[in-house]
Structure 1
Amino acid sequence: MAERWWLVVMLLLVPGSSSAWELLSSLPLSLYNLYECGFRADIDAVDCALARNVFGQHLAQELLFKSVKEFIENDNPSKPLVLSLHGWSGTGKTFVSSLLVKHLFKEGSQSRFVHFFSPVLHFPRVQNLEQYKADLKEWIQGNLTACCRSLFVFEEMDKMHSGLIDAIVPFLGTSWVVYGSNYRKAIFLFISNGGGDDINEVALDFWRQRKDREDIRLHHLESAISKAVFSNPKHGFWQSQIISQHLIDVIVPFLPLRPSHVRQCVRTEMVQQGCKTVASRINYFV
């Protein structure tokens, strides 16, 4: 890929040459998207990072890698990629999101085209709901116009005021190609503890029946999670059009971790921090 861009630069310096423009038009993404937006999707790195750093989450690993890979490799997606991550606190939702961001953008979470929203920080007062909705819609549209490959992360959806998130519904469908930008290349991540109890109950049922937790599939969990968040008036997805219009592409469940998974997480982090001696004895401490 690098050699191809050097060829483009050289051809652009040649007076009267049309080859560079022909080459540019043949590329899957524009110069602006790749170099102004800093979008550097490394699918192999995503796969490797999930395999090396995420434990006890076979469903999340499979679903995230498959959906992101298919979306990135599609030069003309029909809609933005919308993922909703569910599970109890401490199961890895935010951590996995950070891995995706790290391997999709050159500057990772520091990229100005990666946006994080916290309801507690950005939308604290319910009496300002209508203003928040207007501001959020304007913010999303402005940033998508600046970079169609923008990534938006909405944290703690279970703490968001009901009705607020519907402000972005127009950006999640199939029709947003305006101002010369293809909004359908954006990625939206929703992170929530909602549905965590249902996920845990399914995992517990498998344990009671002496079934392998690796046999838990999405169809065991998906409908229960959707129902749990859609019918909870305290959840940001309560009666949301995002749910009723089926705008979420993939619901990603995070299972409760077993002690062995926690030990693996701690050991991996300690090794990465250079604490190899203590990490080798982690079974004694945890």
Structure 2
Amino acid sequence: MLLDTSLPFIWFGFRQRSIKECVFERLVCTISESCDCDFKPNIRGLEWDLYKNLYGQHLAQDIVSEEVTKFLQTENPDRPLVLSFHGASGTGKTMVSTMLGRHLYGTAMGSPYIHQFVPTLHFPIPDHNKQYRVELKRWLKGNLTSCARSIFIFDEMEKMPPGVIDIVAQFLGPSHSVFGTNYRKAIYIFISTIGEEVINRIALETRQAGREREEIQLVDLEDGISQAVYNSERSGFFHSKIIQEKLLTSFVPFFPLSRRHVERCAHRELCQRGECQRRDVVTAVGGAVAYIPEHGQHFSSTGCKSVPAKINFFL
């Protein structure tokens, strides 16, 4: 059964404010490029959060901070901000997207202008790809009309049905408007595990060479990630116009985490539970997590994802 899109601006289970609440704002957003809805950017807060709470991700910290700052300092950007997060599970990709919501709209993911898509939930039937493209195009246009500062997060891109995401390409270029809609102030985040092999290989080679991971630069990874997401049939970007036409602002690599990073995650989680003093639990969690590769065991196989469950076991 296809999703019911008969109601305006209600789709994929996301509910925007009522027509009475939004009608004036929509009118203003349609005729004015200065409409910022409930946008309350706190760039210093974002930078502090990234450097305090995101572990082992020097490139993600620098790229997200620099690109968001540059984008917001431009009064009339010529195109949207488009970031593509890549790396293994548990390395901080979803955390960073949540930080963006918290520091740009003052709420983690609760703003009606932050929209998150999960392919298995929102695009579950491969045979309906054509219909999904039509609906996604209409839905993007409607939400951008409602708020030019909309944030769109496409999670689990490795599960995105082929071709669906290409409908977004027409909203990502440098044109002034699309279908009469101001769209250049929007932010798009794509999240994927595709490319993790490239990132993990470079991280491992750097470690084995006795160098610090902070020496790795984006230029060392960008081409490899781009080829992986474009050529992999498992990728939602498989032969995508978005990659082919270079519509991404930047790839954002997330590195595999070492034991010290896992222990920092454990300590942060314990502090949130009022148990900061439990260094014994921090050490136990660090020792209980599985590490890869088999010979060397340098990196956590699950990042920090299993940390809360491990803490529950040891407390």
- Counterparts of 1:33-112 in structure 2, within 5 Å, are 33=36, 37-112=37-112
Rounded to whole Å, the distance in 2 between the matches of 1:236 and 1:107 is 28
CA contact (8 A) 1:40 1:104 kept: yes
State the secondary structure of the residue aligned to 1:200: helix
CA contact (8 A) 1:38 1:107 kept: no
**TM-score, length-normalised on structure 1?**
0.85
Name the structure 2 match of 1:121.
Answer: 121
Rounded to whole Å, the distance in 1 between the matches of 2:180 and 2:168 is 19
- Counterparts of 1:200-211 in structure 2, within 5 Å, are 200-211=200-211
State the secondary structure of the residue aligned to 1:277: coil
Name the structure 1 match of 2:232.
Answer: 232
Name the structure 2 match of 1:273.
Answer: 273
- RMSD between superposed Cα atoms in Å: 1.7
CA contact (8 A) 1:84 1:191 kept: yes
How far did residue 181 of structure 1 move? Answer: 5.2
Structure 2: which 5+ residue stretches go unaligned? 1-32, 287-315
Name the structure 2 match of 1:22.
Answer: none
Name the structure 1 match of 2:291.
Answer: none
CA contact (8 A) 1:147 1:181 kept: no
How far did residue 42 of structure 1 move? Answer: 0.4
Cα distance change on mapping 1:233 and 1:271 into 2, 3 Å: same
Rounded to whole Å, the distance in 1 between the matches of 2:210 and 2:108 is 41
How far did residue 281 of structure 1 move? Answer: 5.0
Shifted more, 57-66 versus 170-179: the winner is: 170-179
Rounded to whole Å, the distance in 1 between the matches of 2:178 and 2:285 is 56
Q: Match for 2:165: what amino acid? A: I
Rounded to whole Å, the distance in 2 between the matches of 1:273 and 1:145 is 42
**Structure with higher helix content:** 1
Deviations 1:199-224 (A, max 9, x none): 00000111111111110000110000
Alignment pair present for 1:143 and 2:143: yes
How far did residue 44 of structure 1 move? Answer: 0.1
How far did residue 273 of structure 1 move? Answer: 2.9
Name the structure 2 match of 1:254.
Answer: 254
Name the structure 2 match of 1:182.
Answer: 182
**TM-score, length-normalised on structure 2?**
0.78
Deviations 1:216-256 (A, max 9, x none): 00011000000001001121000000000000011000000
Identity of aligned residues (%): 43
How many equivalent residue pairs?
255
Name the structure 2 match of 1:20.
Answer: none
State the secondary structure of the residue aligned to 2:278: helix
